[in-house]
A and B are shown apart, each in its own frame.
Chain A
């Protein structure tokens, strides 16, 4: 097809301009792919921070418990729930817990804190408690062992093996109960709130201490497919819900993080849109320069019978080829850059976002759709940007274009 050949060859009439425009489009595509990869990476870190640190991807709680951690609001008969979770193929693991606010005292100091009673084996399927240990060892099920945060250890001036007294109110009676523990391990999750206030003891010890044998406050869940947790109508969760029991995924448990993720997506969409607009202006400018340079030629082409539609096709073909070259280049370069940052990360320092610690490097996510969808967007955008110059070219009046001759 001659007009296709013509369009292709026209691109190389002014190689410098074509290269500059290609560079603009290529750079935009690269930035869009990299930004998307970084946002995906950040979201993954944030979601991982929430779901894998302690909270789990979903939780079963007594309604109202999460709001003020009122110990009385417990799961009175958790066995049917744990049984259902055991038999659910979607669930990869779940961790039963009791949680109570209490006083944590050492020989030297006292602090308020949140004491978790955990099943040390089940907990490993859901949280990173074991991985967070920086000193000592993990729970073994023994009665007196306790894990505390690094900051709490500093506050209480205790070290491994030191004695700690936990005081808490028993559920039902509110009688004060006390138990002696010895520091088995010291953990560091990252967020100050956790490292300064949290302590973990074995589940059965906590149940006995609080007078709630066979009862729980919370069951944290992990799924085989993390996407399941985003589905608020997931049968696993829906079937566990009762009048007084809620079963929610992390998006419902942490709406602020959901909002942050949504905001990140909006931010990257806006950044992409701004970039698209700037690229469009560059493409429009380049196409107009190309048309003005060839205005006499368009006059000749129209004079000999080229229709306005054929002129529009020609300019759009040129834009298409421009986008094609730029996108191919952009895909290769963006893949290289994204893969590099996926392996080595982007240094981001240490920051806490919505209670989630982002520490060290941010690793971009490389997804196949980035190299299909975004180039298609960029190509469509380039074509859209070329429509105005194409219409302009199609409306060139031959007699005016040919002022210097017929």
Chain B
């Protein structure tokens, strides 16, 4: 399996002096194509920081992030924006969708940024809505969708750009348990059907149980890295 994510000695420190906090302390991990990986750990362990650095949303103080061989730690500006757009799908915890756009338009948005022709966009939108089980709800705005449905749209949006990896930070945190598990099942199905690489953070044991691999962080250090179901 090809390596899609590789971090080398990734370090990130916030603050200075007495307020200095080491969020990540020389973290090196490798994620291969098609893995369904959960990053776990208590609050403040560095889960979000690790995902932000992998996603190119933040810059490491030291170390490298290689995504499909490209070192995004050395990218900036529009080049980094374009890379994120084309190679990484994001699912956020909440306030995920653009409220004034319908579900379809939210999914279409990223393809517009990519310059995908209209016909292909519309077709892909329909395909994505079907994959996440939201056929017939495409014209609804986020305010007319449940939390679980909104997160499914977010998954569809993340998938729409055909990224190499999908990063999700506690995607089920604002959902009730059953809805959270249902969302994770959707992600899992996509992972298995399309061999899509998912890396998500969680501190919910029911969610962790569904991951192939657990990377446990504490105080910015990898304490455990285990493969489970694969």
Contact B113 A306 (CB under 8 A): yes
Binary contact track B93-116/A, C-beta < 8 Å → 1, others 0: 111101111000100111011100
A376 within 8 Å of B by Cβ?
no
Contact of A80 with B by CB under 8 A: no
Stretch of A115-123, A155-163, A294-302 that contacts chain B: A294-302
Residues of B within 8 A of A296 (CB): 95
* Chain A neighbourhood of B114, CB < 8 A: 305
> Which of A3, A399, A404 is within 8 Å of B58, CB to CB?
A399
Q: Does B217 lie at the interface of the complex (its beta carbon under 8 Å from any beta carbon of A)?
A: no
Contact A404 B94 (CB under 8 A): yes
Contact with A along B51-64 (1 / 0, CB 8 A): 11001011000000
B40 part of interface (Cβ distance < 8 Å): no
Which segment of A6-14, A322-330, A337-345, A385-393 sits at the interface?
A6-14
Assess whether B162 is interfacial by the CB under 8 Å rule: no
- Bound Cα distance from A404 to B94, whole angstroms: 9
Complex Cα–Cα for A303 and B158 (A): 11
A406 and B81 within 8 A (CB): no
Q: Report how many residues on chain A are interfacial, defined by Cβ distance under 8 Å.
A: 28
CB pair B98–A303 under 8 Å, yes or no, is no
B112–A2 touching, CB < 8 Å:
yes
| Given A406-B51, A406-B90, A406-B93, also A304-B168 (CB < 8 A) | no
Is there contact, CB below 8 Å, between A305 and B100? no
**A interface, by DSSP: helix, strand, loop or mixed?**
helix
Chain A residues with Cβ below 8 Å from B127 are: none
Q: Is A398 an interface residue (CB 8 A)?
A: yes
Interface residues of A in 1-59 (CB under 8 A from B): 2-3, 5-6, 9-10, 12-13
Report the separation of the CA atoms of residues A6 and B113 in the bound assembly, to the nearest whole angstrom: 13
When C-beta atoms are compared, the residue in chain B nearest to A401 turns out to be B57
Question: Does chain B have a CB within 8 A of A309?
Answer: yes
Chain A residue, CB-CB nearest to B59: A399
> Contact: B94 with A304, CB < 8 Å?
no
Query: Is A406 within 8 A of B167, CB to CB?
Result: yes
Q: Are B84 and A304 in contact (CB under 8 A)?
A: yes
Instruction: Please tell me if the beta carbons of A305 and B82 are within 8 angstroms of each other in the complex.
Output: yes
Tell me the complex Cα distance, A306–B105, Å. 15
Q: Which residues of B contact A13 (CB under 8 A)?
A: 99-100
| Known pairs A2-B108, A307-B78; A406 contacts B57 (CB<8 A) | yes
| Measured CA separation A391–B133 after assembly (Å) | 39
Q: Is A151 an interface residue (CB 8 A)?
A: no
CA separation between A6 and B141, bound complex, in Å? 13
Contact of B94 with A307 in the complex, beta carbons under 8 Å: no
Contact B113 A305 (CB under 8 A): yes
Binary per-residue interface labels of chain B (199-213) against chain A in the complex, 1 for a CB within 8 Å, 0 otherwise? 001000000000000
Q: Give the docked Cα–Cα distance between A88 and B80 (Å).
A: 74
Interface residues of B in 10-53 (CB under 8 A from A): 48, 51-52
Known A-B contacts A306-B113, A399-B58, A406-B169; the reply to A10 vs B100 at CB < 8 A is yes
A197, B98: Cα distance in complex, Å: 78
Whether A405 is near chain B, meaning CB under 8 Å from some CB there, is: yes
Q: Does A308 contact B (CB under 8 A)?
A: yes
Interface members, chain B 147-202 (any A CB < 8 Å): 157-158, 161, 167-170, 173, 201
Alpha-carbon gap, A355 to B157, bound state (A): 74
Contacting residue for B170 out of A5, A307, A405, CB 8 A: A405
B46 CB → nearest A CB, Å: 13
CB distance from B92 to the nearest CB of A (A): 5
Contact A405 B105 (CB under 8 A): no
- Tell me the minimal C-beta distance from B15 to chain A in angstroms: 14
In the bound assembly, the distance between CA atoms of A307 and B84 in angstroms comes to 10
A286 at the interface (CB under 8 A from B): no
Give residues 376-402 of A contacting B (CB, 8 Å): 397-399, 402
Query: B86 near A: Cβ within 8 Å?
Result: yes
Query: Is B52 in contact with A406, judged by CB distance below 8 angstroms?
Result: yes
Q: Which residues of A contact B (CB under 8 A)?
A: 2-3, 5-6, 9-10, 12-13, 296-297, 300-310, 397-399, 402, 404-406
Q: A305-B82, A402-B57, A405-B92 are in contact. List 13 more A-B contacts (CB 8 A).
A: A300-B96, A301-B98, A303-B92, A304-B89, A304-B158, A305-B84, A307-B82, A398-B52, A399-B57, A404-B93, A405-B93, A406-B92, A406-B201
The 9 closest A-B pairs by CB, nearest first: A305-B85, A405-B93, A406-B169, A9-B100, A399-B58, A399-B57, A398-B57, A307-B81, A399-B52
Q: List 21 A-B contacts (CB under 8 A).
A: A2-B105, A3-B112, A10-B100, A13-B100, A303-B92, A304-B84, A304-B85, A304-B89, A304-B113, A305-B82, A305-B85, A306-B85, A307-B113, A402-B92, A405-B93, A405-B170, A406-B51, A406-B57, A406-B90, A406-B93, A406-B167
